[in-house]
Amino acid sequence: MTTAHELTKNQTLVFNTLSRADGPLSAYTILDQLRGDGFRAPLQVYRALEKLLDYGMVHRLESINAFVACAHPHNHSHSHGMTAFAICEKCGQVSEFSDDVITQRVRQWTTDNGFKQTKTTIEIRGVCAACGTA
């Protein structure tokens, strides 16, 4: 079901920047990294991000105003469930996972309450195993 999306030049540049990064980047950090490629304005980044988010290739981390490449590069659908993120406040590493039980419980609540969900954000802030023992 994974549709291959033909990325435009700017989308490719932004996606590659995120893919190479070892953690989430802010839009302005991406902009700075792409100055050498001709990027001059935030909108160039935000427009590319908008598409990449649509395609499911990138996620937005609401709690830190940053963006990260999807951890499942060959399966951009996330068709079955909601995605959760654990964000380390020490090293910035993000772990992406999904949990069917959580997905079901959220769906249960929305069903029970007549709420039509369009997007769900689950972000766990804290300290990762590596940083916790360091």
Q: Contact with DNA (CB under 7 A): which of 39, 58, 59, 87?
A: 39
**Cβ-based neighbour number of residue 75 at 10 Å:** 12
Q: Are 95 and 23 in contact (CB under 8 A)?
A: no
| Binding at 11: pick from Zn ion, a second copy, DNA, none (beta carbon under 5-8 Å per type) | DNA
Helix (H) or strand (E) holding 86: strand 83-88
44 binds DNA (CB under 7 A): yes
28 binds a second copy (CB under 8 A): no
Could you tell me how many residues of this chain bind a second copy (CB under 8 A)? 34
- Taking a C-beta distance cutoff of 8 angstroms, is the pair 2, 76 a contact? yes
Among positions 7, 78, 96, 123, the unique one binding a second copy when judged by CB under 8 A: 123
**Site for Zn ion contains 52 (CB under 5 A):** no
Distance (Å) of CA 24 to CA 20, 51, 62, 110, 113: 10, 17, 11, 30, 34
> Is 131 annotated to bind ligand?
yes
Q: How far is the CB of 14 from Zn ion (least distance, A)?
A: 16
Q: Per rule CB under 8 A, is residue 116 in the interface with a second copy?
A: yes
Residues 66-105 that bind DNA (CB under 7 A): 66
Among 37, 50, 54, 89, contact with a second copy (rule: CB under 8 A): 89
Q: Give the CA diameter of the chain.
A: 52
CA Rg value for the chain: 16
Tokens of 72: 């499942």
46 is a site residue for DNA (CB under 7 A): yes
Residue ranges of the annotated binding site for Zn(2+) are 88, 91, 128, 131
